[in-house]
Amino acid sequence: MKKGKRNVLVDQSRAKFQQAFQYHQSGQLAQAQLLYDEILQLQPRHFDSLHLSGVVASQTKNFHKAVELIGKAIEICPDNAIFHSNYGNTLKELKQYEAAVASYDRAIALKPGFAEAWNNRGVALEELREYEAAVAGYDQAISLKPDYAEAYSNRGNVLKEIGHYEAAVASYDRAIALKPDYAEAYSNRGSALKDLRHYEAAVASYERAILLSPDYDFLFGQWLHTKMKICDWKTFEDDVDRFRESIKHNKKASPPFPLLALIDSPALHKHAAEIYAQAKFLLTQHLPEILKGARHKKIRIGYYSADYRNHAVMHLMAELFEQHDRGAFEVIAFSFGPNREDEMRKRAAAAFDRFIDVRHLSDIDVVHLSRNLEIDIAIDLGGFTAHSRTGIFALRAAPIQASYIGYLGTTGISCIDYLIADPVIIPEESRQHFCEKIVYLPSYQVNDTKRRIANTLFTREELGLPEQGFVFCCFNNSYKITPGTFAGWMRILQQVEESVLFLYVDNDVAQANLKREAESRGVSGKRLIFGQRLPLAEHLARYRVADLFLDTLPYNAGATASDALWAGLPVLTCMGKAFSGRVAASLLNAIQLPELITSTQEEYEALAVELATNPKKLTAIQQKLEQNRLTTPLFDTKLFTRHIEAAYTAMYERCQEGLSPEHIVVLPVGIRE
């Protein structure tokens, strides 16, 4: 090409590039891309256009194309630190975190003072669960750029993840001081404050984030859930209406869990889960398809949980792990929760054939480990609860994956093949509201019959209860108490003279709010008695001082109802429509006390009053509970184990025969010996 013609092309490209760059900076991505394409037609090796075309692709979520384009720019111009940094950013979006770190390392080697690369390197390391290295990266970014608000906020995220909540709040505070309109820092600060049980401060921090960014992803539900923890119902009806409409209109309003305790709608629960799963677990990192493995002599069951510790899930599951038939099953624990060496942790560790702590492994590393161990069935015991690792299942840890016990609803994600329930919890007509195929056990909830009830004989005085009068109780979490449920309780108290309501509420603000709500409904706040946290054995013994457990709706008691029944206390429930509102009914059916199941608020209140004012009827139910406690399926752990093993075998055989998942019904396999 003649020199003059080449100069003309260069001049044309320079002018187009300047215009394209202006479009790009102003957010007019389509116009910028058209000009970048024109430049590349004229000069295919125009590395700046290749790079920025890749950036546009990344901004429009076409990450694979972005990797290709930025990679070409790097081939032509390998010593550009910005290219390597943006290449790392795109790899990070593809969840290729180790490759992303390598790109950031190259960028930093070329430009040691590159604060943004240090920061983004920290983000990738955090995803790899290399927390100390991530914090060091953020610290380096801050030392290079002291006003780097994003690095302070990201540093706070890691500190929060490893449980250093006060230090996390301080880091968020610094980010906010540098960038007062920083909605993300306010949101994450709220989460750290919630973990510190500073609920009012958490609510305020969330509210500031919402004010700055009204459609901040998944924040509204967390804000409302935190308000429910302190029983702040001032705008409850409006809040719930807004919540419902947001989800109906496909907005990213909330993680799925908060919805369970606020709206009794299995259809809405499914929709919220699908919105969340689509946003969080749309795979950009692909592994080879996992196929059925060779038939094993023993079916290999992997239980994945953050709750191998003193936690409700372990209080239910511990004996199941111990009872598994080791001639037919090999059971392996994958633990990724807090490493607390308490009694339940030690018991869990002893119960498995292998107990593997995978806290410090990334999701993909846990998946590789699971596949290498040839796990046949992966059981998610967490769902969308605290410290859960749904990403492991999104990448598929085993040919068969199922959800059980931890999360009372659909996961909204196609990679979970089965949801374990029973016919009470999910009637056949409700299957449409679940993405998983349903495994119907004869009864849903496993229990640990080794739970010890202390010999302590509490007096009413010791527990702050009056010497006389009927004691209603509910030890459900405070976020399960809705204004409707509480109003019903107050009407019950008004009809039963000298009765009191014994509650467990873990913060003073909630206690004050509930007393105020009682007074506003014509009931003395003194009739609400608040219990303190006790060790489990003493907590179970405390139930013996109460006369009747009053359940909540739309989120029933689960482990809490089992605790009450195990201790001999009748549980009165009102059955809802959704999974979370039908668990107590399932338990009562399993212990053959269907007379304590109601289906309307009016029936619930009327039966509560009748049992409190008709000692003969209540005594008959108490005696029946005592007779049934050790003779019915609810507390027959050996029988339950045979049922769930039959379910696992059915899942496994379908897979071995090349059949896709389908609904499974497990028939009773025996009776108590």
In angstroms, the CA 468 to CA 568 distance is: 20
pLDDT band at 11 (very low <50, low <70, confident <90, very high): low
Q: What is the CA radius of gyration of the chain?
A: 28
Locus of tokens 């507390």: 635
Give the mean pLDDT of the chain: 95
pLDDT exceeds cutoff 80 at 186? yes
Among 92, 81, 91, 73, CA closest to 115:
81
The answer, yes or no, to whether residue 5 has pLDDT greater than 60, is: no
Residue 147 has phi, psi (to 5 degrees) of: -100, 25
- Note the pLDDT of residue 283: 60
- First-last CA distance in the chain: 94
Is a pLDDT exceeding 70 seen at residue 2? no
Average pLDDT over residues 30-44: 89
DSSP states of 203-246 as a string? Answer: HHHHHHHHHH-TT-TTHHHHHHHHHHHTT--TTHHHHHHHHHHH
Structure tokens given for 627: 């007779």
Give the residue from 494, 508, 503, 509 showing the smallest Cα distance to 529. Answer: 503
Give 591's contacts (C-beta < 8 A, 6+ positions apart): 565, 625, 628, 629, 632, 633, 634, 635
Beta bridge partners of 529: 502
Q: In whole angstroms, what is the distance from residue 108 CA to residue 104 CA?
A: 6
Q: Is 524 strand, coil or helix?
A: coil
What is the spatial distance between Cα 440 and Cα 662, in angstroms, rounded to a whole number? Answer: 11
- Per-residue confidence (pLDDT) for residue 286, from 0 to 100: 67
Most confident of 22-31, 54-63, 157-166: 157-166
Give the pLDDT confidence score for residue 7 in this predicted structure: 55
Q: SS3 for 460?
A: coil
The helix (run of H) or strand (run of E) holding residue 270 is helix 266-280
pLDDT reading at 83 higher than 90: yes
pLDDT(672) > 50: no
Q: At what angle do helices 97-110 and 115-127 cross, to 10 degrees?
A: 160
Contact 184, 209 (CB under 8 A): yes
Indicate the pTM of the whole model.
0.93
If you average pLDDT over residues 33-47, what whole number do you get? 89
Structure confidence at residue 13 as a pLDDT band (50, 70, 90): confident
DSSP 538-579: HHHHHGGG-SEEEP-SSS--SHHHHHHHHTT--EEEE--SSG
| CA atoms of 204 and 462, how far apart (whole Å) | 37
| Confidence band of 15 (pLDDT split at 50, 70, 90) | confident
How do residues 146-160 score in pLDDT, each as one tens digit? 999 999 999 999 999
Residue 8 predicted with pLDDT over 60? no
Average pLDDT over residues 378-403: 96
- Asked if the model's pLDDT at residue 50 lies above 80, the reply is yes
Q: Is the pLDDT of residue 335 over 60?
A: yes
How far apart are alpha carbons 91 and 67 in whole angstroms?
A: 7
Helix boundaries (H) for 111-261: 115-127, 131-144, 149-161, 165-178, 183-195, 199-212, 219-229, 236-248, 256-260
The full set of domains in the chain, from first to last, is 217-284 (no CATH), 286-449+637-673 (3.40.50.11380), 461-635 (3.40.50.2000)
The kind and range of the H/E element at 474 are strand 471-474
The identity of residue 457, as a single letter, is L
Helices then strands, each counted (H, E), the chain: 28, 14
- Each residue of 232-275: pLDDT tens digit? 999 999 999 999 999 999 999 999 999 999 999 999 999 999 99
| Range of lowest pLDDT (7-21, 48-62, 114-128, 388-402) | 7-21
Whole-number pLDDT of residue 671: 43
What mean pLDDT do residues 62-70 have? 94
* Tokens, residue 609: 């009053």
Read off the tokens for 373. 């161990």
Q: At 143, give phi and psi (nearest 5°).
A: -65, -30
Give me 243's structure tokens: 């919540």
d(CA 256, CA 347): 31
How far does Cα 474 stand from its chain's mean position?
24
Q: Taking a C-beta distance cutoff of 8 angstroms, is the pair 13, 48 a contact?
A: no
**Quick one: pLDDT at residue 421?**
98
Query: Would the pLDDT of 653 be above 70?
Result: yes
**Poorest-pLDDT segment among 8-22, 316-330, 389-403, 467-481:** 8-22
Average pLDDT, stretch 64-79?
95
- Inter-residue contact 371 to 397 (CB < 8 Å): yes
**Angle between helix 199-212 and 183-195 (nearest 10):** 160
- Tokens representing 26 are 């102003």
Residue 225 has pLDDT above 70, yes or no: yes
Residues of the chain above pLDDT 90, percent: 90
* pLDDT digits 0-9 by tens, 523-547: 999 999 999 999 999 999 999 999 9
- Is residue 40 packed enough to be buried (19+ CB in 10 Å), middle (13-18) or exposed (0-12)? middle
Q: Are strands 299-305 and 597-598 parallel, antiparallel or unpaired?
A: unpaired
Indicate if the pLDDT at residue 501 is higher than 70.
yes
Q: Calculate the CA 295 to chain-centre distance.
A: 33
Average pLDDT estimate for 481-507? 97
Q: Taking 60 as the threshold, does the pLDDT of residue 60 lie above it? A: yes
Kindly compute the dihedral angle of the four CA atoms of residues 144, 145, 148, 153, in this order, to the nearest 10 degrees.
20
Query: Half-sphere exposure of residue 207, counting CA atoms within 13 Å on the CB side?
Result: 10
Q: How far apart are CA 158 and CA 365, in angstroms?
A: 19
- pLDDT tens for 97-144 read 999 999 999 999 999 999 999 999 999 999 999 999 999 999 999 999
Per-residue pLDDT tens over the stretch 405-435: 999 999 999 999 999 999 999 999 999 999 9
CA dihedral 602, 607, 613, 616 (to 10 degrees): 160
Question: Cβ(405)–Cβ(445) under 8 Å?
Answer: yes
Helix (H, G, I), strand (E, B) or coil at 377: strand
Q: Are 575 and 581 in contact (CB under 8 A)?
A: yes
Question: Is the predicted pLDDT of residue 673 greater than 90, yes or no?
Answer: no
